A = this chain, B = another copy of it.
Amino acid sequence: MKYTLLALLVLILTGNSLHAQDNLVQYVNPLIGTHKMGHTYPGATVPFGMVQLSPETDTIPYEVDNHYNPLVYKYCAGYQYDDPTIVGFSHTHFSGTGHSDLGDFLIMPSVGKLQLNPGTEQNPKSGFRSSFSHSNEVAAPNYYKVKLDEGNIVAELTTSNRVGFHQYTFPEAGQAHIIFDLIYGIYNYTDKNVWTFVRVENDTLITGYRQTNGWARTRTVYFAMTFSKPIQQYGVKDFSNPHVYKGFWRKFDQSKNFPEAAGEQLRMYFDFNTTAGEAIKIKVALSPVSTTGALENLQAEIPHWNFEKAKLAGQQQWEKELQRVQIKAGTRDDMVNFYTALYHTFLGPTTYMDVNGQYRGLDQGNHAASNFTNYTTFSLWDTYRALHPLFNIIQPKRNSDMVQSMLAHYDQSVHKMLPVWSHHANENWCMIGYHSTSVVADAIVKGTFQGDAMHALNACIATSRHGSYDGIEYYMKSGYVPEDKSGSSVSKTLEYAYDDWAIAQMAKKLNRQDIYTEYMKRSQNWKNVYDASTGYMRPKLSDGTFRKEFDVLSTHGQGFIEGNAWNYSLYVPQDPEQMIAVMGGKKRFVQHLDSLFTMNLPDEFFAHTEDITRDGIIGNYVHGNEPAHHVAYLYNWTDQPWKTQERVRMILKKQYHPAPDGLGGNDDCGQMSAWYIFTSLGFYPVAPGSDQYALGSPAIHSAILPLENGKTFAIEVKNQSDKNVYVQKVTLNDKPLTRLYLTHEDITKGGKLVFYMSAKPRK
C-alpha cells in the first residue's frame, strides 16, 4: 500500500489531479484478443492467479498424435469469439499461447433431460452444450457472465488466486444438473487424460485429481469442489477404453450416488432441486500437490458463499496492480488498449503453489517454496524481450520470485537446465534459445533479483553449455549452429549469441571476469551466420559454406523459425552498432529498414506464415511474431531516430485495437502487450541485460509509476496528439536528456521525464 499512498502524495504535490484515477478496472476488456489470433481468454482470474475460469467454445475432434491439428492451434485459450456455442467453463487457461494444454475440470449447468455428451456446435441440443449471444455476455477483470440459451441459465464466474467460483441462476423451478466433465481438455477433447480419480466426500464436497499427458508430459492437477447446497443425487459415467480394469468394483451398484470413481474418461453429474430464480454456487479450488492442499486453498481464500464479495476482492486486486501504471491518454480507446494490455501482462506467469507453500517440482516430487512464491508458465522465447523487463520496473518483487522459480526448476532438472518453455511442473521444450539466461541477467543487472546471484549465474552457464541441447555442441565448437546438424540454425545462432551477451553482462556485474570474457566472445557469433554477399543472415553448413538454397521471404525450412531472413537478420540486439556497420553502414541500413516496413508482399506469403494473419504484418515487418519486436527501435542507432518514433506509433495504431480481433498475433503470455505498454510509455528494452531503454514516441498524455521502492517515476507528454508523433525534446528532471536512451536507474531513483512532441520530425 505504501507506494499507492506515495503516488497519491505525488499527485497532490504536482497538482495533477487528473491522474487520480480510482477505477482503472473499467478500462480492461478481456474480450480483446479472443477473436482469431490473439488467443486470449475472456474468463475470470486475479493477477498472476492459479485459476483462470473461462468459457469453452470448441469442439475439437480427437485425432491421434496430430499436434499440428489447426483446431488445436485455434483453441489455445479454449474460446473463439465467433463461435455460437459454449460447452462449459473450465479452470485453467493459457493467455495468448501458440500451443495448447490445460482446460481442467469443465463445469456446465443444464436443465431438462440429463445429457452426458457435449453435443455439437451445429446441434447443441444433442448434448449439454448451449448456444449463447454476445449481447448476453459480460467480461471484466475477475468477472465473466453469460446467459446460456438452453434453459436461460445465467452463468457467472469469479475467482481468487486458487479458487474458481461459479454461480448458476436457474430461472425456472425444477431439477438442475451440474455437469462435471473430467474428460474435457485443451487441446483435444478425449485423449489427453492419463488418469482421473474422484471422491464424493459428502453431500457438498467432491475431491480428486486428473493427470494428463499433453504439452506438459506428466501433469497432475488436484481439486476440491464444494456446492452451496446439498446434492440431491449424482452419478458418474466412465467413457474409458475397455482395458481399464474394473475388477470387483462391479459388485457395487455404481449407477448412482456411488462416491468413488477412477478411470481415464469420466463425466459426472450432480442434480439439485431448484426454485425459480435460485442460484447454485460452486467453488473449485486447485492444487498442484494434493486434494488436501486444494481444500486448504479453498478454506483460506474463499471461506464464504458471497459471490459479489469474492468478485470484488479480485477486482480490488486488479485495481491495485493496474495502479502500478497510472496513465492519462487521449481517448477511451487508448485507455482500454493500454489497461487491457497491462491486464494481459499480469495474467502470468501464474502462481503454482498452495497457500501452505507446497508445490510440485520438475522432478515430479513435492517441494516447499522457501521465501518465494513459486510461479509457472514461462513462455521465455517470448517474454524475455519485454514482459520480464517490464516486471523489473513495475513488478520487481514478483520478477525476483519468478527468477527464483526458474532456479528451482533448474535445481530439479535432471538435464541441469533452466526452463525453455515450462508449465505445471513440466518442461515442454517449445521454441529455441536459452532465454532464461536473459531474464536472470536482466534481473541481476538491474538489481531486482533478491536470491543467490552466483548460483543463478552458474545455472545460466550450465544451461548455455548443455551440448546435447538443440545444436549447442556445434555452436560451441564452430561458433554457429550448422543447418545440416540442427534446423532453424540461424535463429538459434543469433539467439544464443544474444543470450551469451546477457550472461556476460551478469558475469561482469558479479565480477566473474573469466565468464565475461568467454561469453562476450560467444556473443560475437552472430557474425558467423552473416552473409555479406546477400546482406542477410543465412544458414551455414558444417563445412563452413552457406547453404545454396535461400529464400529471404519464406519462413519454412530456411534456417529460421517464426520469422524470415528479412526479420531475423536484424536480430543482434546486443550490438546494433556493429550490426549496422557490418550491413553497410547507417545510411544503407536506414534504406534497408524502410523497405522492411514498406514492401508489398504477395498473398502466397501469408498462406505460409506461422501464427499470424495479414493483420500481424506491416510491409514485411512481422509484429505478430516476436523476433522483430526491437526492430522499429533500431533507427535510434542511425541518423534518423525520428523514424523509430514514426514506426512505433504506426505499429501501436495498426496492431492493437479495442475489439475481440484487436491483436494481430498471439499475445504470447503478455509479450505483445508488454511491447504495447513500453512503447506507449515512450521507451523499450532493446537488449534486456543492458540497463538501457531506447527512447521512442510515447502514445499517452502522462503516466505515473509508483515504484515498489517508494519512489515515483512520472512521464509527461507535451503537445501530444495522433499527428504529433515526433519527439522534439526530452527532459529528465527538468534537464535536457541528450541521449537516445533512458537508464534503469533514471527510473528507479524516481523523477520526471517530459517529452515535447511535434508533427514534424526533428531531423
List A residues at the B interface (Cβ < 8 Å): 64-65, 67, 191-192, 194-195, 197, 199-201, 207, 209, 211, 213-215, 217-218, 242-249, 251-253, 258-260, 262-263, 290-292, 363-366, 414-415, 421, 428-430, 468-470
Contacts and interface: CB of A to CB of B under 8 A. Distances in A.
Given A201-B414, A249-B217, A242 B64 contact: yes
B252 A469 contact: yes
A252 B430 CA distance: 12
Contacts of A209: 364
Given A207-B363, A218-B262, A247-B429, 16 more contacts: A65-B242, A65-B245, A67-B247, A194-B195, A194-B211, A195-B213, A197-B218, A211-B211, A213-B245, A215-B247, A217-B245, A217-B262, A248-B421, A259-B415, A290-B366, A292-B365
23 contacts: A65-B242, A65-B245, A67-B247, A195-B218, A197-B218, A199-B363, A200-B414, A207-B363, A213-B245, A213-B262, A213-B263, A214-B245, A215-B245, A217-B247, A252-B429, A252-B468, A252-B469, A253-B468, A259-B414, A259-B415, A260-B414, A291-B363, A291-B364
A214 B218 CA distance: 20
A365 B65 CA distance: 32
A362 to B, nearest CB: 10
Contact of A192 (B245, B248, B252, B290): B245
A64 B428 contact: no
Contacts of A197: 218, 364
Contacts of A215: 245, 247
Per CB-CB distance, the 4 closest pairs between chain A and chain B, nearest first, are A248-B429, A199-B414, A259-B414, A65-B242
A291 B247 contact: no
Q: Which of A244, A245, A249 has the most CB of B within 10 A?
A: A245
Contacts of A290: 365-366
A212 to B, nearest CB: 9
Given A217-B262, A365-B291, A414-B201, A248 B468 contact: no
Nearest to A367: B292
Contact of A428 (B200, B248, B292, B468): B248
A751 B363 CA distance: 57
Contacts of A468: 252-253, 258
Nearest to A366: B290
Given A218-B197, A291-B365, A428 B242 contact: no
A587 B430 CA distance: 84
A65 B247 CA distance: 9
A71 to B, nearest CB: 16
A200 B415 CA distance: 9
A246 B428 CA distance: 10
Contacts of A263: 213
Contacts of A245: 65, 67, 192, 213-215, 217
Nearest to A212: B245
Contacts of A213: 195, 244-245, 262-263
A366 B292 CA distance: 9
Contacts of A65: 242-243, 245-246
Contacts of A191: 243
Contacts of A214: 245
Nearest to A259: B414
Contacts of A200: 414
Contacts of A192: 245
Nearest to A421: B248
A200 B207 CA distance: 34
A486 B468 CA distance: 62
Contacts of A429: 247-249, 251-252
Nearest to A249: B429
A633 to B, nearest CB: 31
Contacts of A414: 199-201, 259-260
A561 B67 CA distance: 51
Q: Which of A214, A260, A469 has the most CB of B within 10 A?
A: A260
A364 to B, nearest CB: 6
Contacts of A469: 252
A367 B252 CA distance: 28
Contacts of A201: 414
Nearest to A260: B414
B260 A415 contact: yes
A233 to B, nearest CB: 14
B217 A251 contact: no
A194 B64 CA distance: 18
B363 A243 contact: no
A100 to B, nearest CB: 11
A243 B64 contact: yes
Contacts of A251: 429, 470
A580 to B, nearest CB: 33
Q: Which of A197, A201, A217 has the most CB of B within 10 A?
A: A217
Given A247-B429, A415-B259, A211 B195 contact: yes
A246 B215 CA distance: 8
A262 B216 CA distance: 11
B291 A248 contact: no
A671 to B, nearest CB: 19
A548 to B, nearest CB: 25
A302 to B, nearest CB: 22
A430 B247 CA distance: 9
A234 to B, nearest CB: 13
Contacts of A364: 197, 209, 291
A175 to B, nearest CB: 23
Contacts of A258: 468
A561 to B, nearest CB: 11
Contacts of A67: 245, 247
A195 to B, nearest CB: 5
A76 to B, nearest CB: 14
Q: Which of A197, A215, A248, A260 has the most CB of B within 10 A?
A: A248
A138 to B, nearest CB: 36
